[in-house]
DNA sequence: CCGCATCCTGTAAGCGCATACACTAGGCGG
DNA sequence: CCGCCTAGTGTATGCGCTTACAGGATGCGG
């Protein structure tokens, strides 16, 4: 009934359990004749090594972990939305990147969205079973992270560098937004730009605003202290924030620079409702590079984050640190790319891959 | 240096290791006063229970696994394609579904794409570390599956039911294609339908063809023995197969029913190149419901698979079986939905969620 | 023929935890 | 005041594997 173990295999193959173990761990240290016999018996018995026992004994699991917040609202999960690419958020792309990279390095990936059971559950589930893991900002309480990171490598993805001895990964938020704003000012000749910011507790959004400020300063424009309006990153927030802005200022801005794509989409909607044309009357740009941005009309100009690469870099950092535990903490800044589509006033981009003859 | 263990906590809290263990496993069996003391010490020391040791001792891990083939070609991974929603394939949606469902049941998810290191690596990595897992068809050699399934619950997703004592999950391929073909025949009055099939070793594609046959038979049309042309599921194959078909038969068919969306997209391209209008001259329908189908013009009518639900159902089956190991094997058939867009001749659909004011 | 290095294999000691079982201290009815 | 039950805790064992360490062969030079 119970699954066969090294003991069963050893007995049947007339060797000691050590030899069986060696066959799997250090095949070259076993005479090939013996090895073949053991393997044959193993196959015959249906032996599968216990990862737990192996991990216990060798103090390593060959598994990396990823914790991310549970963005999606489980309630709103009708079938339509369930397969909506809009739902293809951040975390999924990072997961994909990590999975790939982990595999390349011979690791498997354990994923967990933090939610249920309090922090204990997350910690127990993931931290106890992996050799190291990545955390999306604000998923795990800093306090817990502090504890866990004493035990195994942790890399923090995005967000602020809450704990300074952790490896840290972020994208060029400020530089990306600087470039984008500069593009609007320089290439499209726009002067009255408005910034639709995120919540003040989002370091990413704040960094983007700083980039925006720098661009204004560099162009000799008035530098705002604060975003002209703010939202909580959803499309609905983008609409509302845009409405508020339009209501407040008499004349609409020439361009709206939004802290993320979702809100930029909301801005598009709000502007259209007000009878303002994009990009003729108001240019709109986002940040993130979500798939939906390509589908809407006008298509959304945005700063594209290398989300897949974030995941890969996270794994690389973990593997590096596993190999060299006392290496000083590293912080990586990943570059972003400008994706110029229609909403900033650029000509409709060349048809994109896969759509060449369909557009 | 080494991470703190139950022993460290026990000594510091002046209790036995058993008590420490109980604090985590059966908190109610420990006097609250003692419990608090232990927890305080644990926090102080930064104690994190070892999942390996726990798993070893309790013979369960609280982790479910997912194995899927590595579809994406790692070579073709320039940044553009990397974030392309076209890449958002099957496996990713299933992963999402499983992750959600697993979390609901208190499990974490271990994912591994089969590729490197021979089957041993996959088996060792996943099978040895989980309480049960799901396999996408043809990922793991049947022979290995046979062995592993003697040890722990395995549910097979899609594909044929290779091993009959396994729980099995599939979508209504035949019925879905039957409905779709019937729609073309009955609602659009089309009679000369061509089927663009997959490879013969794909049971899914074959099942879809059977549905197509049934629809033909039901409508009193000639029933083909074989698909009119075949491809290997990629867009390029769809183009090539369509070209071959058009070249072979003098008159183009009134409709092309394609075994999957990718090939349907290829068909769209090939038809347009030949100067044939879709859907006026030739209707085209796909199968799968990939996001890209919504983006192309004409937008693609297709049979949408509930991929997310597949993942959830897989977890449900696993959890069920874990609770009742000797339950007789179950096979679930998930329904598909018809997604009627432009390419079949239906009117452009109502704007979809999130695009309402943007289209 | 002996000593020693080389190769292969066995012995045994954990790895960190769960848990059956034994045990102690009270509480309670008789 | 005794037996018995309950609650709380400790003792001891084992989960299945890895890995020093310790041999037993074997081959070689001396």
**Strand C at less than 7 A from CB of B60:** no
- What's residue B121's pLDDT? 62
- Residues B299 and B177 placed together within one structural domain of the fold: yes
Q: In angstroms, how far is D24 C1' from A6 CA?
A: 23
Q: Which of residues 49-78 of B touch strand D (CB under 7 A)?
A: 53, 56-57, 59
Q: Name, of A214-218, B153-157, B343-347, the range with top average pLDDT.
A: A214-218
Q: Please indicate, yes or no, if residue A350 is contained in any of the structural domains.
A: no
**pLDDT higher than threshold 90 for residue B69:** no
Q: Do A165 and A311 belong to one domain?
A: yes
In a domain, residue B356? The reply is no
DSSP state of B133: E
**Of the spans A285-294, B70-79, B114-123, B204-213, which averages the highest pLDDT?**
B204-213
The answer to the question of residue B23 being in a domain is yes
Instruction: Classify residue B1 by burial, with Cβ atoms within 10 Å: 0-12, 13-18, 19+.
Output: exposed
Residue B315 near residue B107, CB atoms below 8 Å:
yes
Q: Looking at residue A79, what is its pLDDT?
A: 38
Instruction: Supply the CATH number for residue B45's domain.
Output: 1.10.260.40
**Phi, psi of A129, deg, nearest 5:** -120, 5
A70 lies within 8 A of chain B by CB: yes
- CA of B16: nucleotide with nearest C1': D10
State, as a whole number of angstroms, the distance between the CA of A43 and the C1' of C6: 31
Which nucleotide's C1' atom has the smallest distance to the CA of B54?
C17
What is the average per-residue pLDDT within B311-323? 93
Which of A224-228, A353-357, B1-5, B9-13 shows the lowest mean pLDDT across its residues?
A: A353-357
pLDDT digit string, tens, across residues B219-272: 999 999 999 999 988 888 999 999 999 998 778 999 999 999 989 999 999 999
Decide if pLDDT at B24 tops 80. yes
For residues A300 and A311, membership in a common domain is answered with: no
Strand C, nucleotides < 7 Å from a protein CB: these are 7-12, 14-20
Which residues 28-47 on A are within 7 A of strand C at the CB atom? 29-31, 33-35
Q: DSSP class of residue B115?
A: B
Task: Say if A126 falls within a structural domain.
Answer: yes
CA of B36 to C1' of D9 (A): 15
Cβ B177 vs Cβ B287: under 8 Å: yes
Question: What whole-number percentage of chain B has pLDDT above 70?
Answer: 87
Tell me, yes or no, if A93 comes closer than 8 A to chain B by beta carbon: yes
- Tens of pLDDT, residue by residue over B190-205, are 999 999 999 998 889 9
* Domain contains B319: yes
pLDDT at A120: 58
B164 in Cβ contact with B329 (< 8 Å):
yes
Please report residues of B whose CB lies closer than 8 A to that of A284: none
Structural domain for A97, as ranges: 63-172+307-334
CA B355, CA B64: separation in Å to the nearest integer?
Answer: 36
Contact list in B for residue A268 (CB cut-off 8 A) is 358
Whether B103 shows a pLDDT value over 90: the answer reads no
pLDDT tens across A97-137, in order?
A: 898 888 888 889 998 876 555 445 666 678 889 999 999 87
CA dist B60 and B337 (Å) reads: 38
Q: CA–C1' distance A34–D27 (Å)?
A: 21
> Which tokens go with B207?
């099942």
Check whether residue A128 and residue A38 sit in a common domain. no
* Domain co-membership, A213 together with A284: yes
Mean pLDDT value across chain B: 86
DSSP state letter for A63: E
Q: Which two tokens stand for residue A278?
A: 């994009």
Closest CB from A129, A235, A295 relative to B52: A129
- DSSP secondary structure letters along A66-131: EEEE--S-GGG--HHHHT-GGG--HHHHHHHHHHHHHHHTT-EEEEEEEBTBHHHHHHHHHGGG-S
B-chain CB neighbours of A151 within 8 Å are: 3, 46, 48
Q: Is A165 on the interface with B (CB under 8 A)?
A: no
User: How confident is the model at residue A122, as a pLDDT?
Assistant: 66
Residues on chain A touching B124 (C-beta within 8 angstroms): 24, 48-49, 51
Q: Residue A48 is nearest to which of B112, B151, B307, comparing CB atoms? A: B151
Q: State which of A263, A288, A305 marks the end of a domain.
A: A305
**Is residue A180 one of the residues assigned to a domain?**
yes
Sort out which chain A residues have CB atoms less than 8 A from B61's CB and list them: 51-52, 129
Per-residue model confidence (pLDDT) at position A69: 73
Q: Give chain A's domain count.
A: 3
Task: Look up the protein residue whose alpha carbon has the minimum distance to the C1' of D13.
Answer: B57
Q: Measure the CA angle with vertex A131, ends A125 and A136; round to 5°.
A: 65
CA nearest A264: which of A330, A197, A216? A197
Q: Is the CB of A53 under 7 A from strand D?
A: yes
Low-confidence ranges of chain A (pLDDT < 70): 1, 70-90, 114-124, 348-359
Mutate to test the interface with A, among B50, B93, B276, B308 (most CBs of A within 10 A): B50
What confidence score (pLDDT) does residue A142 get? 82
Of A294, A261, A256, A290, residue with least CA distance to A272? A256
> What 8-state DSSP symbol labels residue B184?
I
Q: Taking 90 as the threshold, does the pLDDT of residue B285 lie above it?
A: yes
* CB spacing of B79 vs A337 below 8 angstroms: yes
Residues A314 and A300 in one domain: no
| CATH at residue B194 | 3.40.50.2300
Is B22's CB less than 7 Å from nucleic acid strand C?
yes
Inter-chain touch A56–B56, beta carbons under 8 Å: yes
Rg (chain B; Cα; Å) = 26
First to last CA, chain B: 60
Element counts in chain B: helices (H) and strands (E): 14, 12
Residue B1 lies in a domain: no
B228 plus B326 within the same structural domain: no
Indicate if A140 and A222 belong to the same structural domain: no
> Is the preceding omega at residue B298 within 30 degrees of 0, hence cis?
yes
Terminal Cα-to-Cα distance of chain A (whole angstroms): 59
Same domain? For B216 and B292 the reply is yes
| Closest approach of B215 to chain A, Cα-based (Å) | 26
Q: Which of residues 56-115 of A touch strand C (CB under 7 A)?
A: 56-57, 59
Q: Which of B161, B169, B134, B158 is nearest to B148 (CA)?
A: B134
Inter-chain touch B357–A289, beta carbons under 8 Å: no
Could you read off the pLDDT of B122-152 as tens digits, one per residue? Answer: 666 788 899 999 998 777 878 888 888 888 8
In a domain, B355, yes or no: no
CB-CB neighbors (< 8 A) of B150 in chain A: 3, 46
* Same-domain pairing of B222 and B281: yes
Extract the tokens encoding B162.
């290779």
d(CA A7, CA A95) in angstroms, rounded, equals 38
Residue B327's pLDDT band (boundaries 50, 70, 90)?
confident
CA angle B65, A59, B26 (to 5 degrees): 65
A165, A326 contact by CB (below 8 A): no
3-class DSSP assignment, residue A246: helix
Q: Are residues B49 and B138 in the same domain?
A: no
Q: Could you identify the residue written with the tokens 């994109």?
A: A352
- Look up tokens 């931290």; give the residue: A127
State how far the Cα of B58 lies from the Cα of B166, in Å rounded to an integer. Answer: 25
CB-nearest to A147 from B46, B115, B297 is: B46
pLDDT (0 to 100) of residue A112: 83
Question: What is the token pair recorded at A172?
Answer: 């060029």
> What residues are paired with A194 via a beta bridge?
A256
Q: Do B48 and A359 touch (CB under 8 A)?
A: no
Q: What's the Å distance between residue B57 CA and nucleotide D5 C1'?
A: 31
- Indicate if A71 and A127 belong to the same structural domain: yes
């Amino acid at each position: 009934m119970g699954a066969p173990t090294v003991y069963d295999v050893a007995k049947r193959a007339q060797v000691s359990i050590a030899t069986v173990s060696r066959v799997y761990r250090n095949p070259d240290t076993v005479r090939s004749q013996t090895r073949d016999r053991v393997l044959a018996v193993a196959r015959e018995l249906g032996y599968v090594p216990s990862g737990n026992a192996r991990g216990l004994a060798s103090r390593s699991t060959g598994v990396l972990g990823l914790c991310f917040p549970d963005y999606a609202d489980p309630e709103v999960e009708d079938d339509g939305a369930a397969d909506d690419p809009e739902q293809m958020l951040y975390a999924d792309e990072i997961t994909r990147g990590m999975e790939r990279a982990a595999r390349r390095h011979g690791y498997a990936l354990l994923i967990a969205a933090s939610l249920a059971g309090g922090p204990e559950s997350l910690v127990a589930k993931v931290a106890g079973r992996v050799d190291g893991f990545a955390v999306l900002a604000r998923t795990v309480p800093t306090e817990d992270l502090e504890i866990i990171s004493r035990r195994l490598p942790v890399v923090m993805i995005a967000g602020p560098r809450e704990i300074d001895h952790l490896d840290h990964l972020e994208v060029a938020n400020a530089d990306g937004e600087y470039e984008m704003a500069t593009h609007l000012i320089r290439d499209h000749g726009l002067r009255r730009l408005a910034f639709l910011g995120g919540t003040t507790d989002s370091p990413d959004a704040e960094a983007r605003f700083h980039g925006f400020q720098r661009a204004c300063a560099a162009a000799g424009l008035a530098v705002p202290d604060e975003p002209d309006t703010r939202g909580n990153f959803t499309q609905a927030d983008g609409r509302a924030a845009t409405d508020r802005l339009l209501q407040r200022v008499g004349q609409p801005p020439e361009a709206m620079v939004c802290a993320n794509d979702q809100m930029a989409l909301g801005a598009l909607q709000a502007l259209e409702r007000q009878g303002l044309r994009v990009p003729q009357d108001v240019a709109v740009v986002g940040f993130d590079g979500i798939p939906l941005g390509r589908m809407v009309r006008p298509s959304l100009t945005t700063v594209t984050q290398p989300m897949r690469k974030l995941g890969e870099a996270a794994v690389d950092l973990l593997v590096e640190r596993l190999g060299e535990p006392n290496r000083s903490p590293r912080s990586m800044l990943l570059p972003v790319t400008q994706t110029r589509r229609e909403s900033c006033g650029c000509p409709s981009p060349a048809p994109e891959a896969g759509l060449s003859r369909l557009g």
